């Protein structure tokens, strides 16, 4: 017999060992043996009869537990066992909460303790009631946006649009029987979500070479129902590239990362995040994207299990339910399968998932971005794209080379070359391509416009650049 998550050996009794009883009760139950050394050898105790009489009362009085205390003999040596079943309530000893994990005893504090208490009370953080919050804290436009999405996804009947806000929140289980708002209601539809949780934002940063070299960043703060779209829009406009190609006569500008897979990963981060911990963080590098959200995997789950068919156990079930009804996610644990299929369709390297820093880290290779900057191709699609772009530019390259290259050098020449390649590119995307600050690129482009070399046709959204002949 060896020590494990259910067994602990002690040579003699000390009152402080009641911590182990507490830890077993808060975990999966277990047995504490008194009179056995760390190697599992019976060494015996002299006061077995006294312990047999005192310990049941001591355990009950300090923790309210009924423990089974038994006397055992081996040869002429006596030892006792103290067995406790797992408790469906949180158990404390002298105001502290302990938990048996593996063969170690851990005192729970902070986020771990809060999560444990929610779990023992058969509830979740997003289901908790927020005292002092009223319907005036709910944003009507966000409610309307959700209704449109849910009806479009056919997960809510169209007549739901006729419900009052309070009736809808009741229907969605976002308020309790006394019409008090849950945390989920305020994060999903609140006018000021940071009032209720300072960590409910999505941070994106563009890095180069090292963590210290931050080029620019965004902190997206909005009702969670809007967050997937806001994040995707920000990534498209400032961080990622959208290589242009033509399918017949139709111009196509897909993101460098499969958008349905990217949306799935963003939604997963929002739904599964532990909002008692740090912000969701996305770091965009030249060669990869790192998406990290704080929150442990469900009990007995591993990364390998997540990548297979599995049941869905969202950390925030109310938030997950609203995302499902809006058509943002599926309920059947198919998210990772969808991500895999999306990358496979485009012949791209699969993202890597791992547990890191108390959460889940997804690393996404930027193969298309690298290909654009190095001239290499990726699969059949990239070959087609490159051929189409070559066709578009043929016959005019001589004009560009003869007229502009002779007068432009350095960054400004690179900017013109990039615009020639992609007239729809944005200033942040140019900055990303060149590894420079967007403000500096903006100044260069203003100068190019003053020189009459480039011009803007249309507005910031929907317009494009032209190189003046």
In a domain, 230, yes or no: yes
Does residue 147 belong to any structural domain of this protein? yes
Give me the pLDDT at residue 20, please.
96
Q: Are residues 165 and 181 in the same domain?
A: yes
Q: Considering the entire predicted model, what is its pTM?
A: 0.69
* Cα–Cα dist 423/417, whole Å: 10
So what's the pLDDT on residue 403? 44
CATH number, residue 303: 3.30.565.60
Shared domain for 139 and 182, answered yes or no, is yes
Q: Among 325, 349, 368, give the residue marking a domain's end.
A: 368
Q: In 10 A of CB 241, how many CB atoms?
A: 22
Q: Do 236 and 363 reside in the same domain of the chain? A: yes
Query: Residue-wise pLDDT tens for the chain (469 aa)?
Result: 788 999 999 999 999 999 999 999 999 999 999 999 999 999 999 999 999 999 999 999 999 999 999 999 999 999 999 999 999 899 999 999 999 988 899 999 887 888 888 888 888 899 999 999 999 999 999 999 999 999 999 999 999 999 999 999 999 999 999 999 999 999 999 999 999 999 999 999 999 877 778 999 999 999 999 999 999 999 999 999 887 666 666 666 788 999 999 999 999 999 999 998 999 999 999 999 999 999 887 766 777 777 666 667 788 999 999 999 999 998 766 778 889 899 999 999 999 999 898 899 999 999 988 888 776 655 444 444 444 443 343 333 333 443 443 456 778 888 888 887 778 788 877 887 787 787 888 888 888 888 888 888 876 656 788 887 6
Pair (58, 184) in one structural domain: no
Contact 206, 240 (CB under 8 A): no
Question: CB of 79 within 8 A of CB of 35?
Answer: yes
Rounded Cα distance between 411 and 425, Å, is 16
Q: Is residue 301 part of a domain?
A: yes
Report residue 338: phi and psi, to 5°.
Answer: -65, -40
38 and 165 in one domain? Answer: no
pLDDT at residue 116 in the model? 87
Residue-level pLDDT at 376: 64
Among 113, 136, 158, the domain-final residue is 113
Number of domains in the chain: 4
The per-residue pLDDT for 406 is: 46
**CA–CA separation, 159 and 163 (whole Å):** 8
Would you state the pLDDT for residue 382? 43
Residues 228 and 245 placed together within one structural domain of the fold: yes
CA atoms within 13 A on the CB side of 303: 10
Domain housing 211: 202-368
Q: Does some domain include residue 149? A: yes
> Tokens representing 270?
């929002």
CA dihedral over 189, 190, 191, 197, signed as positive or negative: negative
Q: Is residue 89 a part of any domain in this protein?
A: yes
* Residue 120 belongs to some domain of the structure: no
Does 295 fall in a domain?
Answer: yes
Same domain, 11 and 26: yes
pLDDT at 394: 35
Whether residues 212 and 342 fall in one domain: yes
Q: What does the chain come to in residues?
A: 469
Same-domain check for residues 107 and 160: no
Written as six digits, the tokens of 8 are 């602990």
Residues 19 and 102 placed together within one structural domain of the fold: yes
- As beta bridge partners, residue 220 has 202
* Sign of the C-alpha dihedral computed for residues 233, 237, 238 and 243 taken in this order: positive
CATH number of the domain to which 447 belongs: 1.10.10.10
Let me know whether 47 and 101 are in one domain. Answer: yes
Whether residues 106 and 133 fall in one domain? no
The answer to whether the CB of 87 falls within 8 A of the CB of 116 is: no
Does the residue 373 lie in any domain? no
CA atoms within 13 A on the CB side of 188: 30
């Amino acid at each position: 017999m060896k020590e494990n998550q259910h067994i602990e050996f002690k040579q003699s009794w000390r009152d402080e060992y009641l911590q182990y009883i507490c830890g077993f009760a808060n975990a999966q139950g277990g047995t504490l043996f008194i009179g056995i050394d760390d190697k599992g050898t019976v060494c015996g105790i002299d006061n077995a009869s006294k312990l047999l009489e005192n310990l049941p009362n001591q355990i009950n009085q300090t923790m309210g537990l009924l423990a089974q205390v038994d006397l055992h003999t081996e040869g002429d040596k006596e030892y006792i066992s103290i067995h406790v079943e797992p408790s469906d309530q949180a158990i404390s000893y002298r105001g502290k909460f302990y938990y048996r994990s593996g063969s170690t005893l851990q005192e729970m504090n902070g986020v771990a303790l809060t999560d444990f208490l929610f779990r023992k009370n058969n509830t979740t953080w997003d289901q908790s009631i927020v005292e002092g919050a009223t319907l005036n804290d709910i944003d009507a436009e966000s409610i309307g946006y959700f209704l449109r999405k849910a009806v479009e996804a056919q997960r809510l009947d169209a007549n739901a649009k006729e419900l009052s806000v309070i009736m809808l929140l009741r229907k969605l289980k976002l308020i309790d029987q006394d019409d008090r708002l849950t945390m989920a209601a305020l994060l999903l539809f609140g006018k000021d979500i940071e009032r209720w949780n300072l960590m409910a934002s999505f941070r994106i940063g563009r890095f180069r070479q090292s963590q210290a070299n931050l080029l620019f960043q965004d902190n997206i703060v909005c009702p969670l129902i809007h967050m997937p779209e806001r994040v995707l829009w920000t990534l498209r406009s400032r961080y990622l590239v959208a290589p242009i190609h033509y399918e017949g006569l139709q111009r196509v500008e897909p993101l460098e990362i499969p958008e349905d897979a990217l949306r799935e990963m963003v939604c997963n981060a929002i739904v599964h995040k532990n909002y008692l911990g740090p912000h969701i963080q996305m770091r965009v590098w030249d060669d990869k994207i790192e998406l990290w959200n704080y929150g442990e995997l469900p009990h007995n789950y591993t990364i390998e299990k997540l990548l297979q068919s599995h049941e869905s156990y969202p950390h925030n079930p109310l938030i997950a339910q609203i995302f499902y009804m809006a058509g943002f996610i599926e309920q059947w644990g198919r998210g990772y399968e969808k991500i895999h299929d999306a990358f496979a369709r485009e012949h791209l390297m699969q993202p890597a998932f791992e547990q890191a820093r108390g959460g889940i880290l997804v690393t996404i290779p930027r193969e298309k971005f690298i290909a654009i900057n190095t001239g290499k191709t990726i699969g059949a699609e990239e070959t087609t794209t490159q051929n189409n772009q070559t066709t578009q530019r043929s016959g005019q390259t001589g004009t560009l080379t003869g007229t502009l290259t002779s007068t432009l050098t350095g960054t400004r020449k690179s900017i013109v070359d990039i615009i020639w390649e992609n007239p729809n590119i944005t200033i942040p995307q140019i900055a990303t391509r060149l590894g420079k600050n967007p403000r500096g690129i903006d100044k260069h482009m203003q100068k190019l416009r003053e020189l009459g070399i480039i011009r803007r046709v249309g507005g910031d959204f929907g317009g494009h650049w032209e190189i003046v002949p």
